[in-house]
């Protein structure tokens, strides 16, 4: 079962935390990272998106990007922007978005638990992205980002979290997107040991950060091969994660827009659609329940509902799978949404206006607003050892990079 442990975090000095912390590397592109970091010498994008410090047009997978990120991390430490805790500790990371709060335990997780399936995944990783994170981790020798994990809340850890939440915050700031981030440092040895024991029998689930986890395992295996006398206690045997209770989390929908109607006119498309779906011209911009999809076409919102019976299967019963198998593929010709450039995915945090804008501008012909996948569905898929369709989940708020770093040296 899951083995977690305390670690000597490398982290910002208190007064610079809000200037260092940045969104994960994979939710912004190079241009966006460059704009955000402009004028901010402390931005962690200098580490995770180091191409912003290189000539415009530099290939983001060039070795110079990874080397610059490593050098910038070293410079942050040398200048005292980042400091390392002198002893292994645990940390509580709290996020507040609107009226919803979620608190997770920041700790190191064993790569052996990932290998053994005690840390379960629900997504496939892409070879290019996994290679990118593997190089970044290997060259920088640090987990610079956090893997977002879930555990099933059964009440057994409530008292421990309450004790941790009584600690005065080390960092407490509101980021530019309005999300409040609070980190507490757990120094009490008894509480640290109690947390480690409490998670010892748990199964953990990856919510976000599949590539970070997979690359950490790959680097760990490489270093084991290079060090045949390894004990298993070396830092390269672990990756950095924040572990949240399922009861506090919510998944936002991952919506779809399609460039064209695959040769159909609007009328013929609707006629074809009605063979498999009930179509209501009700104006609902977001589905009100599982099994419904809201569709935007030619300035109008419709609710579409399958006319066929749902399958009792963790994958086949997902709304995103039903949409793919009964509409996107057979009607709109989207055979592989991972590589087809006729489909785009828009995170639910961006709202319905983004879908309307894409269709109204002519960029897309039709948009689909999804009912969010549930945490229960995610865990059922992972428990079954299956993989969700691409872009099934969107987690918000995002954990900020740069607040906690784990050295694998």
CATH of the domain at 267: 3.30.1760
**Residue 101 and residue 8 share a domain:** yes
Q: Cα angle vertex 403, ends 98, 152, to 5°?
A: 60
**Residue 341 and residue 295 share a domain:** yes
DSSP string, 80-122: TSEEE-SS-BEEEEEEEETTEEEEEEEEEEEHHHHHHTSEE--
Contact 149, 241 (CB under 8 A): yes
Long-range contacts of 352-356 (CB under 8 A, 24+ apart): 352/285, 352/286, 352/296, 355/255, 355/257, 355/296, 356/296
DSSP label at residue 58: -
In a domain, 152, yes or no: yes
pLDDT value of residue 312: 84
- Written as six digits, the tokens of 199 are 């998670």
DSSP label at residue 126: P
Residues of the chain with pLDDT under 70: none
pLDDT value of residue 83: 98
- Written as six digits, the tokens of 304 are 């579409």
**Residue 130 and residue 273 share a domain:** no
Q: For residue 171, give every residue at least 6 positions away whose Cβ sits within 8 Å of its Cβ, in sequence order, or none.
A: 12, 14, 17, 18, 181, 182, 183, 403
**Residue 331 and residue 400 share a domain:** no
Contact 52, 36 (CB under 8 A): no
pLDDT value of residue 311: 81
**Residue 167 and residue 58 share a domain:** yes
CA–CA dist 208, 196 (Å, integer): 22
**Residue 84 and residue 129 share a domain:** yes
**Residue ranges making up the domain that contains 275:** 254-371
The number of folded domains in the chain is 2
DSSP string, 323-359: HIIIIITTTT--S-TTT-TTEEEEEGGGHHHHHHHHH
- Tokens 């013929």 map to which residue? 268
**Residue 76 and residue 61 share a domain:** yes
**Residue 274 and residue 187 share a domain:** no
- Written as six digits, the tokens of 344 are 């785009």
In a domain, 164, yes or no: yes
pLDDT value of residue 274: 97
**Residue 217 and residue 314 share a domain:** no
**Residue 193 and residue 51 share a domain:** yes
* Cα-based distances in Å from 388 to 146, 316, 359, 370: 21, 10, 27, 15
pLDDT value of residue 185: 98
**Residue 304 and residue 227 share a domain:** no
pTM: 0.91
- Written as six digits, the tokens of 53 are 């410090």
CA–CA dist 402, 23 (Å, integer): 9
In a domain, 308, yes or no: yes
Q: For residue 303, give every residue at least 6 positions away whose Cβ sits within 8 Å of its Cβ, in sequence order, or none.
A: 279, 280, 282, 284, 287, 288, 292, 293, 294, 295
């Amino acid at each position: 079962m899951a083995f977690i442990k305390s670690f000597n975090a490398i982290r910002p000095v208190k007064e610079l935390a809000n200037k260092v912390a940045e969104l994960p590397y994979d939710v912004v592109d190079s241009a966006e990272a460059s704009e955000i970091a402009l004028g901010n010498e402390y931005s962690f994008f200098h580490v995770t998106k180091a191409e912003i410090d290189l000539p415009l047009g530099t290939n983001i997978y060039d070795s110079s990007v990874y080397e610059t990120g490593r050098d910038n991390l070293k410079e942050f430490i040398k200048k005292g922007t980042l400091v390392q805790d002198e002893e292994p500790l645990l940390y509580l990371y709290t996020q507040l978005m609107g009226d919803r709060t979620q608190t997770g335990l920041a700790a190191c997780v064993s790569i052996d638990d990932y290998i053994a399936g005690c840390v379960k995944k629900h997504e496939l990783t892409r070879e290019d992205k996994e290679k990118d994170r593997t190089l970044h981790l290997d060259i920088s020798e640090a987990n610079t980002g956090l893997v977002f994990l879930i555990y099933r809340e059964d009440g057994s850890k409530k008292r421990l979290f309450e004790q941790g939440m009584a600690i005065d915050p080390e960092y407490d700031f509101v980021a530019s997107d309005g999300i409040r981030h609070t980190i507490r440092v757990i120094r009490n040895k008894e509480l640290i040991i109690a947390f480690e024991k409490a998670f010892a029998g748990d199964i953990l689930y990856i919510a976000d950060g599949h590539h970070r986890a997979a690359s950490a395992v790959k680097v760990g295996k490489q270093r084991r091969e290079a060090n045949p006398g390894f004990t298993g206690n070396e830092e390269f045997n672990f990756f950095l994660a924040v572990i949240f209770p399922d009861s506090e989390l919510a998944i936002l929908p991952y919506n779809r827009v399609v460039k064209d109607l695959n040769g159909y006119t609007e009328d013929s498309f609707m006629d074809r659609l009605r063979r498999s779906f009930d179509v209501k011209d009700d104006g609902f911009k977001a589905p009100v329940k599982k099994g419904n999809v809201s569709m935007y076409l030619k300035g109008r919102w419709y609710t579409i509902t399958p006319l066929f019976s749902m399958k009792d299967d963790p994958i086949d019963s997902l709304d995103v799978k039903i949409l793919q198998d009964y509409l996107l593929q057979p009607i709109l010709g989207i055979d592989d949404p991972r590589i087809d450039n006729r489909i785009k995915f828009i995170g639910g945090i961006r709202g319905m206006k983004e879908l309307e804008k894409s269709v109204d501008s002519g960029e897309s012909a039709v948009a689909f607003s999804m009912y969010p996948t549930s945490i229960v569905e995610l865990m059922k898929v992972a428990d079954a050892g299956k993989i969700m369709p691409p872009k099934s989940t969107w987690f918000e708020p995002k954990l900020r990079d740069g607040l906690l770093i784990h050295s694998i040296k």
